[in-house]
Amino acid sequence: MNYEVPKARLEDIDVEEYKDPNAIALWTTWLLYAQVAVSAIAIVSGLLEYKLLADLQAGAFESTEAAEAAATASDLRQALVGGAQFLVFVAGGVFCLRWIHRMAFNARIRARSLEYTPGWAVGWYFIPIAYWWKPFQAMRAIWDESVNQAGSEGRESRGLLGGWWTLWLIVSILGNASFRMTLRAHEFDALRIASVVSIVSDAVTIPLCVVFIVMVKRLTAMQEYAHQNPDARVPDMRGSW
């Protein structure tokens, strides 16, 4: 059942407080696309490294010099790809967090009682243990409030949140495991396993970025719609999920 926004609530809205999210959303999506591209390159590079490790273990090179040259070239390629991944990850992470902050800020304009402040919507990503679930809860609260403010627009998209967070956890676990395994690996078999884990992590990163791009576009569009249509209907969402 749908309800009109209470008149008193509409009168409390300060439209001047609304901050346009489109520029941040655009930069965020571009950087996420860049991360998709870099991740694809990293997968190819990782596969080449895995093949090299297999060849080194099998003694497939004609001489020690040839093996060392191939290993040096592989290390350089991996270093360059890893550096590109790091730069894109940092830049993309900054803009993703800025976008989340902006979404939380705008959602609170007509919902001052929203549980998560813009600061904490971002801050929970840096709190040990809590970062396994609190960021998801914050995003869910922002999403639900944005849907409320935009009427029924986007309600069916809430399932994206579960997919996004599941992929995020998988990438986080795999990335951490790959890093630790690489540091501890000294034998070919251990290095190959670490390489496989890294490749899988890069592979899962691609759908993670794609899902988050969709989230950025839909949530930004919902908030823009709510801002341009302050009289939008607000559905009663209690118990509807």
Compare 126 and 17 and report the one with higher pLDDT.
Answer: 126
For residues 157-166, average pLDDT: 87
Question: Does 12 score more than 70 pLDDT?
Answer: no
Percent of the chain with pLDDT over 70: 85
- One-letter amino acid identity for 73? A
Q: By three-state DSSP, how is residue 112 classified?
A: coil
For 202-237, how does the pLDDT look when each residue is reduced to its tens digit (9 = 90+)? 999 999 999 999 999 999 999 998 888 877 655 444
pLDDT value for 236: 45
| Mean local confidence (pLDDT), 40-61 | 93
CA distance 227 to 221: 10
* Chain segment 59-102, per-residue pLDDT in tens: 888 889 999 999 999 999 999 999 999 999 999 999 999 999 99
Alpha-carbon gap, residue 241 to 239, rounded angstroms: 6
The two three-digit tokens of residue 216, written as one number? 């950025």
| Nearest of 97, 172, 173 to residue 142 by alpha carbon | 97
Query: In sequence order, which residues have a C-beta less than 8 Å from that of residue 38 and are 6 or more positions away?
Result: 81, 84, 85, 88
More confident residue, 15 or 214: 214
pLDDT confidence tier of residue 54, bands split at 50, 70 and 90: very high
Which residues have C-beta within 8 Å of that of residue 151, sequence separation ≥ 6?
A: 2, 225, 229, 232, 233, 234, 235
Residues forming a β-bridge with 235 = 2
The reported pTM is 0.85
- pLDDT at site 25: 97
Structure confidence at residue 205 (pLDDT): 97
Mean pLDDT for all residues in the chain:
86
Does the structure show a pLDDT above 80 at 173? yes
Q: How confident is the model over 149-178, as a mean pLDDT? A: 85
Query: Coil, strand, or helix at residue 234?
Result: strand
pLDDT of residue 84: 97
